[in-house]
Amino acid sequence: MFAVTRNARDGRKRARLFSRTGASVLRIIFSLLITFLGLLLVTFLIGRILPIDPVLAAVGDHASEAVYQRVKEEMGLNLPLWKQFFLYISNIFQGDFGRSVLTSNPVLDDIKRVFPATLELATLATIIGVSLGIPAGVFAAINKGKWPDHIVRILGLAGHSMPIFWLGLMGLLVFYMKLGWVAGPGRLDSFYLDFIEPTTGLMLVDTLIEGDMDLFWNAVSHIILPASILAYFSLAYIARMTRSFMLEQLSQEYILTARVKGISEHRIIWRHALGNVMVPLITVIALSYASLLEGSVLTEIIFAWPGLGLYITNSLLNADMNAVLGGTVVVGAVFIGVNMLSDVLYRVLDPRARR
């Protein structure tokens, strides 16, 4: 009798758990959908507000009025604004971002070709920034008010103050032209461009798949400088936030209790305090990563890095609005996705968030 009652009670608990989980998933999906629709509305309005005629960009300055009107109808620009917006949404959800005037390819195909370069650059920069930024922030916190703390704070302030284009130009001047420690702009030397068939689009991964170590080290020599410059900005932000979080944790009563119990200082700092800090740091790292994915435009221009930022910039300079808006939608979608992932990880690592 008691076993039946306990089983029924456990069944009701599982049912309530599944119900709450399902409701939470639905709320997340609904929130993502609303956010994405807001992103589409903003990009749509940008495309209509900018003083660039997409029809003229497609047909050229010397097209006849008849050709101009025919292309305008084909692009749906003769429809009322609300119909244009729903047509725009429908095409986006079908993966149709239009055709690029600059390359004559579907915009989605162009984005698939250039996005891996940006992904590779931002990922390596984030790995470097996290690997150095977290220890630097912890080191500054445990030495508050001392010279290590001052050095980390000055480096963090400089990272937020110096223009990235200036750092890129100085890096090329010193490490490429003067010292010759790294390779120049691009992802590979022009000599190697025909030696590799893209598989993933990530040059470091593709060269390892090919098993050609000369190609791999050439790709490393090209990416290390732009990745390090981007990593410096990520490092400055992560180190500053880590220091702030650690100072808050080190002042908590449980830290004092652990010290009274005789637990080693190394374990207190790197296991207990940093363990509690890692939960909010996930959001910081995710935001830093997303900002590198969307904000590496100047770095890609300076280093001729054939990524999404350079593609959007060239498209904007050539009034290729389909490519500009398509790239903007992809960047916004990535930012939304990274934020959603950080929220999921936050809930997984922090039981309080799950409750």
Q: What is the DSSP string of 255-290?
A: HHHHHHTT--HHHIIIIIIHHHHHHHHHHHHHHHHH
Q: What is the pLDDT of residue 2?
A: 46
My answer on whether 81 and 111 are in the same domain is no
Residues 6+ apart with CB under 8 A from 336: 32, 35, 36, 39
Residue 200 has pLDDT above 50, yes or no: yes
Half-sphere exposure of 246 (CA within 13 A, CB side): 24
Band (260; pLDDT cuts 50, 70, 90): confident
Q: What is the pLDDT of residue 127?
A: 92
200-235 burial: b if 16+ Cβ within 10 Å, else e: eebbbbbbeeeebeebbebbbbbbbbbbbbbbbbbb
What confidence tens digit (pLDDT) does each residue in 8-25 have? 565 565 556 556 656 666
My answer on whether 267 and 150 are in the same domain is yes
Q: Could you give the 3-state DSSP secondary structure of residue 99?
A: strand
My answer on whether 70 and 115 are in the same domain is no
DSSP-derived secondary structure letter, 187: S
Which residue's entry shows tokens 């758990």? 17
CB 189 within 8 A of CB 183: yes
Residue 349 has pLDDT above 70, yes or no: no
CB 68 within 8 A of CB 59: yes
Residue 353 has pLDDT above 60, yes or no: no
What confidence tens digit (pLDDT) does each residue in 215-248 have? 888 888 989 999 999 898 888 889 988 998 888 8
My answer on whether 128 and 276 are in the same domain is yes
Q: Could you give the 3-state DSSP secondary structure of residue 106?
A: strand
- Number of Cβ within 10 Å of residue 329's Cβ equals 21
My answer on whether 197 and 118 are in the same domain is yes
Compute the distance between CA of residue 189 and CA of residue 277 in angstroms, rounded to an integer: 42
My answer on whether 272 and 325 are in the same domain is yes
Q: What is the pLDDT of residue 20?
A: 63
* Residue 12 covered by a domain: no
Overall number of domains in the chain: 2
Compute the distance between CA of residue 10 and CA of residue 50 in angstroms, rounded to an integer: 60
* Residue 179 covered by a domain: yes
117 vs 75, more confident: 117
Residue 1 has pLDDT above 80, yes or no: no
Annotate 286-310 with DSSP letters as a single string: HHHHHHHHHH-HHHHHHTT--SHHH
- Number of Cβ within 10 Å of residue 317's Cβ equals 10
108 vs 318, more confident: 108
* Residue 2 covered by a domain: no
What confidence tens digit (pLDDT) does each residue in 119-136 have? 899 999 999 999 999 999
* Residue 333 covered by a domain: yes
Residue 296 has pLDDT above 50, yes or no: yes
Domain hosting residue 122, numbered range: 107-354
My answer on whether 147 and 200 are in the same domain is yes
Band (7; pLDDT cuts 50, 70, 90): low
My answer on whether 73 and 112 are in the same domain is no
Average pLDDT of the residues in 157-177: 84
Element (H, E) at 53: none
CB 292 within 8 A of CB 63: no
Beta strands in 85-176 (DSSP E): none
Average pLDDT of the residues in 42-56: 73
Lowest mean pLDDT among 25-29, 256-260, 316-320: 25-29
Q: Could you give the 3-state DSSP secondary structure of residue 201?
A: coil
My answer on whether 222 and 88 are in the same domain is no
Task: Output phi, psi for 296, to 5 deg.
Answer: -95, 25
